[in-house]
Amino acid sequence: MIGSKQELAVLLSKLKAFENPDPALEQYPTDSEVAAQVLWEAHMKGDIEHRTITDFGCGTGVLGIGALALGAKSVVFIEIDPRVFPTLMENIYLLEQETSEKYSNYQIIQGNIEAYDVPSQVILQNPPFGTKKEHADIPFLHKAIELAPVVYTMHKLSTESFLVERVNELGGRVTDRYELKFPLKNTMPQHTRDIERIDVVCLRIES
């Protein structure tokens, strides 16, 4: 099993990203350093090991795969776009190679998270931020709070106060917040020294 945040970041950096991302679905992967940071915080809080975890809008699987590597009891990967599944499967295979372990404690489901109704102990999600469709992250927030007592959810920092109000209305409580910088790779011309970053917040919610 993975023993440090750095080891986790190295493992996650080897995973493949979306091959043909669909802008309408806001298919931006969580950067490996950022994913390792969030997963390690969650791990330290006892929210990963031996927990049943669901990765909502899993994409190529970085969050759920990190959870498997940290000793989750089980992980359910849910994604609306079946085109991502070959890469997800490759990434799980890569996890097995890197950790010399075989994982049979996961499930992959194609579907809309809005129609999903199986509870778990923890939900991890980096939903669409709503840059294409305003508030596209809100159905994710509703569903996650409905189905799990602990949720880690990433959003644009600028929407935080709006989101915290929604969380409170839904009977949830923000217990922790982590400010993150998402590097937007491949969006800048080569040889530019500053990588463009967007300010993101990850909220830990209990309900």
Residues that bind ligand SAH (CB under 6 A): 25-30, 57-59, 62-63, 78-81, 84, 112-114, 126-128
Q: How many CA atoms lie within 13 A of 181 on its CB side?
A: 6
Quote the least distance from Cβ 193 to ligand SAH, whole Å: 26
**Is 66 or 172 the residue whose CB approaches ligand SAH more closely?**
66
Quote the least distance from Cβ 191 to ligand SAH, whole Å: 27
For residue 191 the two structure tokens come to: 């040889």
**Is 24 or 168 the residue whose CB approaches ligand SAH more closely?**
24
Please name which of 36, 70, 50, 28 lies closest in space to residue 155, comparing C-alpha atoms.
28
For residue 32 the two structure tokens come to: 């490996």
Quote the least distance from Cβ 133 to ligand SAH, whole Å: 9
Task: Provide the edge-to-edge strand list for the sheet that holds 52-56.
Answer: 106-110, 74-79, 52-56, 122-125, 150-156, 197-206, 173-183
Quote the least distance from Cβ 128 to ligand SAH, whole Å: 5
**Is 84 or 122 the residue whose CB approaches ligand SAH more closely?**
84
**Is 173 or 185 the residue whose CB approaches ligand SAH more closely?**
185
**Is 137 or 167 the residue whose CB approaches ligand SAH more closely?**
137
DSSP 3-state assignment of 146?
A: helix
Quote the least distance from Cβ 110 to ligand SAH, whole Å: 9
DSSP 3-state assignment of 166?
A: helix
Q: How far apart are CA 173 and CA 26, in angstroms?
A: 27
Please name the residues in contact with 130: beta carbons below 8 A apart, sequence gap of 6 or more: 26, 136, 137, 138, 156, 159
